[in-house]
Homo-oligomer: A and B are copies of this chain.
Amino acid sequence: MNKLQFKILKKDKHCAARYGEIITPHGKISTPVFIPVGTLGAVKSMSPDELEEIGYEIILSNTYHLFLRPGDEIIKKAGGIHNFIGWKKPILTDSGGFQVMSLQKFRKITDDGIEFQSHIDGSYHFFSPEKVMQIEQNLGADIIMVLDECTPFPSSYEYAKKSADLSLKWAIRCKEEFQKSNSNQALFSIVQGSVFDDIREENAKQLLEIGFDGYAIGGLAVGEDKEDLNRIVKLLCNILFEHKPRYLMGVGTPIDLLENIEKGIDMFDCVMPTRIARNGTVYTKKGKLIIRDSEFKEDFKPIENDCNCYACKNFSRAYIRHLIKIKEILGIRLTTIHNLTFYCNLLNDIRSAIMNDNFMEFKRKFIERYRRQNGYYNTN
């Protein structure tokens, strides 16, 4: 069986950052890795070729969305999600827990699972841990996630405890269902517990005891203070197995990545670089740049001089601004390519820095430059 392997190739001497690789049935992923989000089976505006050319080795798709459209049965008939979407490298599917939890009005949680109404046609559906495993097996991603309740923020201690316990029960049931088939998929669990250290710790230890191929940290970047996020991640990186991938879900900005790689996180996903691209905002080493601003009307330089992306090698800020202003698809494509290249290059640089025991210095210099504000830039 070709299941997931994780190798740590180098640990930085001066912090907990580690460089490694995850090996899946569809190929290798160098870590730390940023995973672009392809909600419905496509990273918005991108083709698989473009993602591969930028250098991405894995993408994420959303179980909830694919379950509703086109349906996991159709994807199974197509020979699985890799075949269906034409992406031959690794894929991770989330469990749909997070999406269903966002449907505030349309869901009901019981011990047995989550009842919800489709955001498209209002039809009723039920996700049990077993059902979610079946869907994710139909989709056929390399890495699949257990069903969890993404604990809302803020939550009371009592609610957070109850919620983490429920997610734990579901994780057990997911593993049981998962083990019924002789799958070459890898199953990751998700630590919950909101911002409460002892709940997080207990939840993590229980999940470690059950045993999964990797461990994600969920329920963060949902509105809590950055200090809470930092504290919880630090705490969990001390508890989660050294030799298994650690995945911080839904995070984050370039600075978030640096902060959490320092603590020992291996995997990230976030819609931000692609979402802000569609709104005409691009990353540069000196911070973000709102390319739609009139400042750039006659600025014939590329977004970033030393960037190797298709947008920067071929087009000016003025042209990209024009395209964004007129809502031309090519504009969105170019800002998306640039932002995804920015993240990919950042992760490349980070891995090199770890190889050279130079992560802390790299981080310091990157943040200093990124935060050097001027008229156009901001550094979120």
Q: Which of B84, B321, B332 contacts A316 (CB 8 A)?
A: B84
Residues of A that sit less than 8 Å from B by CB: 40-42, 44-49, 69-70, 74, 77-79, 84-86, 297-298, 300, 310, 314-316, 318-319, 321-323, 325-326, 328-330, 332-333
This chain's copy number in the assembly: 2
CB pair A84 B314 closer than 8 Å:
no
Cα distance, A300 to B46, chains bound together (Å): 21
Q: Which of B46, B319, B321 contacts A85 (CB 8 A)?
A: B319
Given contacts A78-B318, A86-B315, A319-B85, whether A330 and B298 have CB atoms under 8 Å apart is no
Cα distance, A323 to B41, chains bound together (Å): 8
Q: Which of B48, B85, B318, B328 contacts A84 (CB 8 A)?
A: B318
CB pair A69 B298 closer than 8 Å:
no
CB pair B326 A45 closer than 8 Å:
no
CB pair B325 A45 closer than 8 Å:
no
CB pair A45 B329 closer than 8 Å:
yes
Cα distance, A206 to B329, chains bound together (Å): 43
CB pair B332 A329 closer than 8 Å:
yes
CB pair A42 B318 closer than 8 Å:
no
B residues near A46, Cβ cutoff 8 Å: 330
CB pair A70 B329 closer than 8 Å:
no
Q: Which of B40, B310, B330 contacts A45 (CB 8 A)?
A: B330
B residues near A48, Cβ cutoff 8 Å: 314
**14 A-B contacts, Cβ less than 8 Å apart?**
A40-B326, A41-B322, A41-B323, A42-B323, A42-B330, A45-B330, A47-B310, A69-B325, A74-B297, A74-B298, A77-B298, A78-B319, A79-B300, A84-B316
Chain B nearest Cβ from A83, distance in angstroms: 8
CB pair A78 B300 closer than 8 Å:
yes
CB pair A40 B84 closer than 8 Å:
no
Chain B nearest Cβ from A49, distance in angstroms: 8
CB pair B44 A322 closer than 8 Å:
no
Chain B nearest Cβ from A51, distance in angstroms: 11
B residues near A322, Cβ cutoff 8 Å: 40-41, 69-70
B residues near A79, Cβ cutoff 8 Å: 300
CB pair A328 B44 closer than 8 Å:
yes
- Chain B residue with minimal CB distance to A336? B329
CB pair B69 A319 closer than 8 Å:
no
CB pair A319 B86 closer than 8 Å:
yes
- Chain B residue with minimal CB distance to A323? B42
B residues near A315, Cβ cutoff 8 Å: 86
Chain B nearest Cβ from A60, distance in angstroms: 15
With most chain B CB atoms within 10 A of its CB, the pick from A46, A319, A330 is: A330
Q: Which of B69, B74, B78, B328 contacts A326 (CB 8 A)?
A: B69
Chain B nearest Cβ from A156, distance in angstroms: 38
Given contacts A77-B298, A300-B77, whether A70 and B333 have CB atoms under 8 Å apart is no
Besides the known contacts A40-B323, A40-B328, A78-B318, 6 further A-B residue pairs in the complex with CB atoms under 8 A apart: A41-B323, A42-B323, A69-B325, A70-B321, A74-B297, A84-B319
Cα distance, A326 to B40, chains bound together (Å): 8
Chain B nearest Cβ from A123, distance in angstroms: 16
B residues near A42, Cβ cutoff 8 Å: 323, 328, 330
